[in-house]
Amino acid sequence: MRLAMIGLGRMGFNMSVRLVRGGHKVVGCDPSAQARTRAARAGIIKAKTLEEAVSLLRAPRLVWLMIPAGRPVRDAVDRLASLLAPGDIVVDGGNSRYQDATRHSRTLGGRGIAFMDVGVSGGIWGLREGYCLMAGGEKKDFRRIEPVLKTLAPKEGYLLAGPSGAGHFTKMVHNGIEYALMQGYAEGLALLRAAPFRADLHGICKLWNRGSVVRSWLLELAESALRQDPELKGLSGWVEDSGEGRWTVHEAVERGVPTPAITAAVYARFRSRMKDAFSDKVLAALRREFGGHAVRPA
């Protein structure tokens, strides 16, 4: 197939390369000249603007967005609504909120342009291992883009999760689970590090990936990180979040579904970014006030 990939960051570029290697023709669009040059070296047809990218496609056209969620996606969809024609299709593969799919389907559907939301998991390893793809939309549109999905994913690595919005809802929950799994490994390894004996954290991670019930790809990544830097001295404890963990917790509250592990994991990330948190100062002040306990000056 021939398609345009809008956004040539870490995900968009690697996905484009995998598609080119799979025999597809990819027009890569990015405002960065450096990104476009890199794409051209990889056999990707380069374009600077949406208009140029669309002009390099043949009807029916497929445009895949791998750009930041929110306004960037909304602006791109609004522009594509006037650039594309009935029978064309737009895919949002970024980490967008699932509710946005309804708006995009309405905006494009009124012009006869199909829209699909596809949650993409695989990170920087997707180029080699393939991407897990969670699609939302009409079945007929899913079938139209299936050759692309089949190339991007490993065997049985893609699914039509449901109607419009289902792809990004499924990816949102996926990321919430990811937060909780990562937090579980982090806390367990921290406890092992505090053991009354010298624990070989790298060796333990390696061991647990050999038949243990807690084995996983995330644990393989922990094993790799600890092999390179056993004390993780090259890292700070600051942990960012993409927003999907927050959305998962919000949905859980709205629907009355208890998700204590995921919620705690999200809060742990917030906590990682605080130095001398005000809440801790309040605790110290209260201990000093009611019990005369010693405090440390700022």
φ/ψ of 27, rounded to 5, equals -95, 115
Distance CA 26, CA 16 (A): 6
Distance CA 5, CA 93 (A): 10
Q: For residue 211, give every residue at least 6 positions away whose Cβ sits within 8 Å of its Cβ, in sequence order, or none.
A: none
Distance CA 273, CA 236 (A): 10
Residue-by-residue DSSP string for 88-136: -EEEE-SS--TTHHHHHHHHHHTTT-EEEEEEEE-GGGHHHH--EEEEE
Active site residue 171: yes
H-type alpha helices, the chain: 10-21, 33-41, 50-55, 71-83, 100-109, 126-129, 139-152, 166-193, 201-208, 217-228, 244-255, 260-272, 278-291
Q: Which of 178, 206, 220, 251 is catalytic?
A: 178
Phi-psi region of 212 (alpha: psi -120 to 50; beta: other; left: phi over 0): beta
Token digits of residue 211: 């038949």
CA angle 187, 192, 193 (to 5 degrees): 95
CB 44 within 8 A of CB 14: no
Question: Using omega within 30 degrees of 0 as the cis cutoff, is the peptide bond preceding 258 cis?
Answer: no
Could you give the count of Cα atoms lying within 13 Å of 123 in the half-sphere of its Cβ?
7
Catalytic residues: 171, 178
